[in-house]
Amino acid sequence: MSKAPTRIQQRNRTAILNAGLDVFSQYGFRGSTLDQIAEAAGLSKPNLLYYFPSKDAVYTELLEKLLQTWLVPLQQLDPAGDPIAEILAYVQRKLDMSRDYPRESRLFANEILQGAPHIKNHLSGELRELVDEKAAVLSRWEAAGRIAPTDPHHLIFSIWALTQHYADFDVQVRAVLGDTDPTIRAGTHLDTLFRRMLTPVSGSPQH
């Protein structure tokens, strides 16, 4: 049985992963080096290699942890809840993640732009299964006349695009708006946008 990591080992692993997140989100996988990560973590390269055998190992662990975090907001969409309230709450959770986890969002975006070589199986596996599950919930809500007609998968994609923009293009958004926190105004705008789009027209036929 392997020994539990010591406090110092846990601290060093955390420092390496945090440094890797900084470096990878800024330079991408190909543009990053173990030397950069070690320097950002305040460790020597040999010390870093004691915990992770390669740059790929650091990157893969970051992505796998990130994907689990990324799934949570959609997992929380409750089939038993009020449809529009549930969808708007999901939009807000995704917007909050863009505000609170900008490095993680950029890391994920960079991986996707490279063809997702490290997490392609996760995307076509657990992510696809979750999206299909929640798309079926949206379809049931639409069939019951509780939301306006929409393509459920593309509604989810639209929510991703309109919320993650505030992390992936943060510099551009702040350059235009000059806001200290653009997501405050974005939350109001997206609430209005999706509420109008999803509210059934009064008197429309029920399915």
State the DSSP string of 72-139.
HHHHT--TTS-HHHHHHHHHHHHHHHHHH-HHHHHHHHHHHHTT-TTTHHHIIIIIHHHHHHHHHHHH
Q: Is the pTM of this model over 0.95?
A: no
Q: Are 127 and 67 in contact (CB under 8 A)?
A: yes
- Distance linking the first and last C-alpha atoms of the chain: 59
Query: What pLDDT sits at residue 3?
Result: 73
pLDDT band, residue 92 (cuts 50/70/90): very high
* pLDDT-based confidence at residue 179 (cuts at 50, 70, 90): confident
Asked if pLDDT for residue 4 goes beyond 80, the answer is no
pLDDT, residue 2, reads 58
Give kind and range of the element (H or E) at residue 162.
Answer: helix 152-168
For residue 164 the two structure tokens come to 């993650």
Minimal CA–CA distance to 186: which of 59, 94, 48, 57?
94
**What would the pLDDT profile of 35-55 be if each residue is shown by its tens digit?**
999 999 999 999 999 999 999
The pLDDT value recorded for residue 207 is 44
